[in-house]
Amino acid sequence: FGLVATVYVSSSCIPSVALPFPQTLQEVEVPVVGNRQCNCLNGVGTVTDNMICAGVLAGGKDSCQGDSGGPMVSKQGSVWVQSGIVSFGFGCARPNLPGVYSRVSRYQSWIKSRIRSNSPGFVQFISSRLDSDSNYTCPGL
pLDDT in tens, 31-77: 899 999 999 999 999 999 999 999 999 999 999 888 899 999 888 88
Reduce the DSSP state of residue 42 to 3 states and report it.
helix
- Measured CA to CA, the distance from residue 75 to residue 71 in angstroms comes to 13
Q: Are 83 and 104 in contact (CB under 8 A)?
A: yes
pTM, 2 dp: 0.83
**Measured distance between the N- and C-terminal CA atoms of the chain, rounded to whole angstroms:** 19
Q: Where are the domains of the chain?
A: 4-135
- Measured CA to CA, the distance from residue 7 to residue 21 in angstroms comes to 16
The pLDDT assigned to 135 comes to: 83
Mean pLDDT of 98-117: 91
The pLDDT assigned to 34 comes to: 92
The pLDDT assigned to 18 comes to: 59
Reduce the DSSP state of residue 126 to 3 states and report it.
coil
Architecture of domain 4-135: Beta Barrel (2.40)
Mean pLDDT of 100-119: 89
